[in-house]
Amino acid sequence: MRCLARKMSAFVLLAALICSGRVEAVDYANSCFFSQSLNLDLVNAAEVSSVPLNVLVLENFSSHGEPIGTIEWIGAGAALLGETALPCSLAGASFQLLIHSNVNNAPGLIYYDEIITPNFEPLDETVRFLGVDLPLYRFQANLSREVVLFNGWVSISRADGGGCEFLWVQSPDGDQYSYRGILNFLNPASVDYTLCLSPAEAVEPVDELAIKARQLLEIFSTADTNESGTLGVSEAQLSGIGLFRTEFFELDLNGNNQVNIAELHARAGLGVVHTADTNGNKRFDLPELMRLIQIYNTGGYRCAPSPGDTEDGFEVSYRGARGVDNGCAPNDSDYQGVADGQISLGELLRALQLYNLGGHYDCGAAGEDGFCAQESVISPDE
């Protein structure tokens, strides 16, 4: 396909056509409520949009009342050298993002104005511009505040200098209506540009109680001043983590006014200490090892109705129904392959190893079961 290019000056529209080989439509990273995609088989052109060159491109949109939090678009970078161009990187480049209101199907007042440095990723395609192959990039920027406009216009342009100009790639989607030209002298055009509008990325709320549950697991043996293997409300509140009385009763899942290791595990959603380490002292004591031997001898375990009902949150299954099908996490010793509600001989020997070495700590993938052995300054059952 033949590529055409028009000569440009600071007082005329800066535009260029891009040619490429065959390419499929490219998806955006986010789920868009307004989308105009890239498909160079159907439309293979782009326009320079640059504040230093005094040239703007504006594309219209309809949000249907959805708040705009993230914008994506597709473009290329080119250093313009007279009748030719060289590919260049827009990494770290600043862009001016303008959102205008819509007045009589034309850009109105500026509703949003921000200088942004977008994230970008290369696409596995190149396009032909003035005889040079230019790589395409997908850009993404989060707005500093959400914008709610049922209809409007977006302008994206290179804000700073540097000699690498931004080319906004056109799209086969849309209403074939946009504006482009020099500032204060924009003309309508029968083309559309790549654009994706989506809500702000959801931010998971901080689960403060889960954090406090993890902190209690870390200091459980110290907080358990009467060495009962459980924490009462006074012990939990005096632990120094800032636990409120109401939060304690949220942790007390079986309502017995005591919180044990299994209940903290259930709320924290983390290993931190081994499920068999029911007093939380980072080592296996003999009664804890005997509990694993009991599970091994009887054929398996299953989840207790509530984690606080037993010392470790499990019931011995006596070769009957077993497993973790009611939602609790498996025993940390049930780690080989898929957790099946049983402690195998190899898994029991691993627990015996941890017992003999006197201590263990959570080390993730570095340990075969998520824990690493360490010699304790206190020998088992001393």
CA–CA separation, 330 vs 377, rounded Å?
29
Q: For residue 125, which of 138, 113, 135 has the smallest C-alpha distance?
A: 135
My answer on whether 169 and 302 are in the same domain is no
CA–CA separation, 168 vs 186, rounded Å?
16
My answer on whether 246 and 143 are in the same domain is no
Torsion of CA 365, 279, 238, 240, to 10 degrees: -20
Residue 133 lies in a domain: yes
My answer on whether 176 and 303 are in the same domain is no
Q: How many CB atoms lie within 10 A of CB 66?
A: 17
pLDDT at 27: 67
Q: Which of 158, 180, 198 is the last residue of a domain?
A: 198
My answer on whether 262 and 294 are in the same domain is yes
My answer on whether 170 and 281 are in the same domain is no
pLDDT at 171: 93
Angle (CA) 349 352 358, round 5°: 150
Number of domains comprising the chain: 2
My answer on whether 220 and 180 are in the same domain is no
CA–CA separation, 203 vs 212, rounded Å?
20
The phi, psi pair for 54, rounded to 5°, reads 65, 35
Q: How many CB atoms lie within 10 A of CB 37?
A: 19
Asked if 19 and 44 count as a contact pair (C-beta separation under 8 A), the reply is: yes
Residue 25 lies in a domain: yes
CA–CA separation, 227 vs 348, rounded Å?
26
* Secondary structure of 44-75 as H, E, C letters: CEEEECECCCCEEEEEEEECCCCCEEEEEEEE
Asked if 134 and 45 count as a contact pair (C-beta separation under 8 A), the reply is: no
Asked if 63 and 148 count as a contact pair (C-beta separation under 8 A), the reply is: yes
pLDDT at 381: 41
The phi, psi pair for 2, rounded to 5°, reads -80, 135
pLDDT at 380: 39
Q: What share of the chain is helix, strand, coil (3-state, %, to 5)?
A: 20, 35, 45
Q: Which position has the token pair 């804000």?
A: 159
Residue 222 lies in a domain: yes
Q: Which position has the token pair 């230019």?
A: 134
My answer on whether 191 and 275 are in the same domain is no
Residue 9 lies in a domain: no
pLDDT at 72: 95
Angle (CA) 206 268 262, round 5°: 160
Residue 350 lies in a domain: yes
Asked if 4 and 17 count as a contact pair (C-beta separation under 8 A), the reply is: yes
Residue 2 lies in a domain: no
My answer on whether 221 and 361 are in the same domain is yes
Residue 283 belongs to what domain range? 208-373
Q: What is the DSSP string of 254-277?
A: TSSS-EEHHHHHHHH-S-SS-TT-
Q: CB-based contacts of 99: which residues, under 8 Å, 6+ apart?
A: 68, 110, 111, 112, 113, 147, 149, 152, 153, 154, 155
* pTM score above 0.85: no
pLDDT at 114: 93
> pLDDT tens per residue, the chain (382 residues)?
333 333 333 333 333 333 333 344 566 767 889 999 998 888 888 889 998 888 999 999 998 888 999 999 999 999 888 888 888 888 778 899 999 998 888 998 888 999 999 988 888 887 777 778 888 999 999 998 888 888 999 999 999 877 889 999 999 999 999 999 876 788 999 999 999 999 876 545 567 788 888 888 878 888 889 888 889 999 998 988 888 989 999 998 878 898 888 788 778 765 557 778 877 777 888 988 898 998 889 888 888 887 778 888 888 875 444 555 555 778 888 888 888 888 899 999 988 988 888 777 777 677 788 888 775 433 334 4
